[in-house]
């Protein structure tokens, strides 16, 4: 079998924190058990097909800059090469999953029918390669934003013909995901939003968007696809105002349109920071309702105002994320950690793809180890429990059960002294967190 990564001759192994090898894991030890599950089970890491095999290093100021061995031949041949490169890479890396958009694994044809045919041909090849390698599909999705037809949106397009096109495209992408045993299906609303209200009928677009998602739910039931549907919030980019702004907005939208039971949330770290939140804020909001379904593991740059999609390396952030995931019943469930991340334009060597993924997996594994110790030793949670302890009193329970009135609390306040304000101890808690991170 030909190889696209001849520099990597054997699977990436765990060598431990003392290893100096750049092609080894220092923290990610797939079979190590933490809190009753192996690391492999906690993370269910996935490689993002679009960045890793279709990324070219292009940016707003310059065209494709990377030479990739798999980028050759006719569009369909190139698709086959990229697909085989994906399975070789993912297997050598030791990640159990991959994720794709329909149009990154198969080229768009001259007509819709031809695009569907291309997708079917590639799905047949992917099915064989999945069988050969044991690598599975974490999620599939439809790219309803790159082609110029989607300039004014897909489900929220003012033109019914584009809406219909997007519905049909999603139908086929969902069927491809089902055919490949995908465990989830993602909706990211690229261009579901607006540039200016001067030309936008907001209530009409909201109604269309709900209908768009309802049609997908109906088709899912019709074909018997059991995968989890996920919505991935993002506040802006490509449009100035994206409708799936953040987790709270999406959950409200789902509730309002009878879609709440059918979806969970896929949280991307860089989208959280674009929304003016932290990654852990978004994870916490989703998890509070049992809706944290999957994670797009990347990170942004606080000095840049766009979705830079960098590989995760910030240990504070991965630790905070793992605190949330570990405390969610069942962890990430049938979701996983997908590296929706790309190398910088200057990291132009195919080997950089390995370093990037190894670094990301290690950053999360280390976050998991630290988060688990923080939880086991109640290093932070003990303080939090104490901070809310007054709510455990009979009156606290009565209020939360909805059995106390404003009159009753008025009378109660008159029997009490002025409340004393206790320290929130933020700086102390930050010291404790650092001690665990460095240990």
The catalytic site residues sit at 101, 104
Cβ 272 to ligand XLS shortest distance, Å: 11
Cβ 279 to ligand XLS shortest distance, Å: 13
Cβ 222 to ligand XLS shortest distance, Å: 23
First to last CA, the chain: 44
How do beta strands 241-242 and 193-194 pair?
Answer: antiparallel
Q: Which does 44 bind (CB under 5 to 8 A by kind): ligand XLS, Ni ion, none?
A: none
Q: Which does 141 bind (CB under 5 to 8 A by kind): Ni ion, ligand XLS, none?
A: ligand XLS
Per-position b or e across 125-149, b if 16+ CB within 10 A of its CB: bbeebbeeeebbbbbbbbbbbeeee
User: Considering the rule CB under 5 A, would residue 104 count as an interface residue with Ni ion?
Assistant: no
User: Considering the rule CB under 6 A, would residue 104 count as an interface residue with ligand XLS?
Assistant: no
Give the x/- contact pattern for ligand XLS in 174-213, rule: CB under 6 A. ------------x-x-------------------------
**Closest by Cα among 118, 23, 49 to 362:** 23
Q: Which of residues 232 and 362 has its CB atom nearest to ligand XLS in the complex?
A: 232
Cβ(301)–Cβ(342) below 8 Å = no
User: Considering the rule CB under 5 A, would residue 192 count as an interface residue with Ni ion?
Assistant: no
Cβ 417 to ligand XLS shortest distance, Å: 53
The token pair at 402 is 């909805």
Give the x/- contact pattern for ligand XLS in 138-167, rule: CB under 6 A. ---x--------------------------
The token pair at 207 is 């109604």
User: Considering the rule CB under 5 A, would residue 296 count as an interface residue with Ni ion?
Assistant: yes
Q: Which of residues 117 and 236 has its CB atom nearest to Ni ion in the complex?
A: 236
Residues touching ligand XLS: how many (CB under 6 A)?
10
Distance CA 157, CA 161 (A): 9
Region near Ni ion per CB under 5 A, out of 300-308, 327-335, 348-356, 400-408: 300-308
Q: Which of 268, 282, 362, 372 binds Ni ion (CB under 5 A)?
A: 268
Cβ 139 to ligand XLS shortest distance, Å: 9
Cβ(89)–Cβ(52) below 8 Å = yes
Give the x/- contact pattern for ligand XLS in 216-255, rule: CB under 6 A. ----------------x-x---------------------
The DSSP-derived string for 281-320 is: HHHHHHHHTT-EEEEE--B--TTS-S---BPP--HHHHHH
Of 355-394, binders to ligand XLS (CB under 6 A) are: none
User: Considering the rule CB under 5 A, would residue 280 count as an interface residue with Ni ion?
Assistant: no
Cβ 280 to Ni ion shortest distance, Å: 17
Decide: residue 427, CB within 10 A, 0-12 exposed, 13-18 middle, 19+ buried. Answer: exposed
C-alpha torsion sign, points 281, 283, 288, 291: positive
Residues touching Ni ion: how many (CB under 5 A)?
4
**Closest by Cα among 83, 129, 106, 53 to 357:** 53
Residue with tokens 């950053």: 363
Helix (H) and strand (E) counts for the chain?
16, 14
Distance CA 347, CA 52 (A): 12
Question: Which residue of this chain has its Cβ atom nearest to ligand XLS in the complex?
Answer: 188
What three-state secondary structure class fits 42? helix
Cβ 369 to ligand XLS shortest distance, Å: 27
List, in order, residues 6 or more apart from 300 with CB less than 8 Å away: 269, 270, 273, 274, 306, 307, 308, 309, 310
Q: Which of residues 101 and 433 has its CB atom nearest to ligand XLS in the complex?
A: 101
Region near Ni ion per CB under 5 A, out of 10-18, 82-90, 167-175, 337-345: 337-345
Q: Which of 175, 268, 280, 372 binds ligand XLS (CB under 6 A)?
A: 268
Q: By the criterion CB under 6 A, which residues form the site for ligand XLS?
A: 101, 141, 186, 188, 232, 234, 268, 296, 307, 340
Question: Footprint of Ni ion on this chain (CB under 5 A)?
Answer: 268, 296, 307, 340
């Amino acid at each position: 079998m030909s190889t696209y990564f001849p520099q990597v001759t054997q699977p990436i192994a765990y060598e431990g924190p003392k290893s100096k090898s750049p092609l080894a894991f220092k923290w990610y030890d797939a079979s190590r058990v933490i809190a009753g599950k192996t690391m492999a089970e906690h993370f269910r890491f996935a490689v993002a097909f679009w960045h890793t095999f279709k990324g070219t290093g292009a940016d707003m100021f310059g065209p494709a800059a990377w030479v990739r061995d798999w980028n050759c031949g006719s569009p369909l041949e190139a698709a086959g090469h990229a697909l085989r490169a994906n399975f070789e890479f993912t297997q050598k890396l030791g990640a159990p999953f991959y994720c794709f958009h329909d149009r990154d694994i198969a080229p768009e044809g001259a007509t819709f029918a031809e695009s569907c045919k291309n997708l079917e041909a590639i799905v047949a090849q992917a099915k064989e390669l999945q069988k050969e390698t044991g690598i599975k599909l974490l999620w599939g999705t439809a790219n309803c934003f790159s082609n110029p037809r989607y300039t004014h949106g897909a489900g929220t397009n003012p033109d019914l013909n584009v809406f219909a096109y997007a519905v049909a495209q999603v139908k086929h992408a969902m069927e491809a995901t089902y055919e490949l045993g995908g465990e989830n299906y993602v909706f990211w609303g690229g261009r579901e939003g607006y540039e200016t209200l001067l030309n936008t009928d907001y209530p009409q677009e909201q109604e269309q968007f709900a209908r768009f998602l309802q049609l997908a739910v109906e088709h899912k039931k019709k074909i018997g696809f059991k995968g989890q549907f996920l919505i991935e919030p993002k506040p802006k980019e490509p449009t100035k105002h994206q409708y799936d702004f953040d987790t709270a907005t999406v959950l409200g939208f789902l509730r309002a349109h009878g879609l709440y039971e059918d979806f969970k949330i896929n949280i991307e770290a860089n989208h959280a920071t674009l929304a003016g939140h932290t990654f852990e804020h978004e994870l916490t909001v989703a998890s509070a309702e049992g809706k944290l379904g999957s994670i797009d593991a990347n990170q942004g740059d606080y000095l840049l105002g766009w979705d830079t999609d960098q590989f995760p390396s910030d240990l504070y952030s991965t630790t905070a994320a793992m605190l949330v995931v570990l405390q969610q019943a069942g962890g990430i469930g049938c979701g996983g950690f997908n590296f929706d991340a790309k190398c910088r334009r200057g990291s132009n060597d195919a080997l950089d793809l390995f370093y990037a993924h190894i670094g990301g997996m290690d950053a999360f594994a280390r976050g998991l180890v630290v988060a688990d110790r923080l939880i086991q030793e109640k290093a932070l949670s003990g303080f939090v429990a104490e901070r809310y302890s007054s709510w455990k009193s009979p009156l606290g329970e009565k209020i939360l059960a909805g059995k106390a009135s404003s009159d009753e609390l008025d009378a109660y306040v008159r029997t009490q002294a002025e409340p004393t304000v206790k320290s929130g101890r933020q700086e102390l808690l930050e010291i404790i967190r650092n001690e665990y991170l460095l240990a």
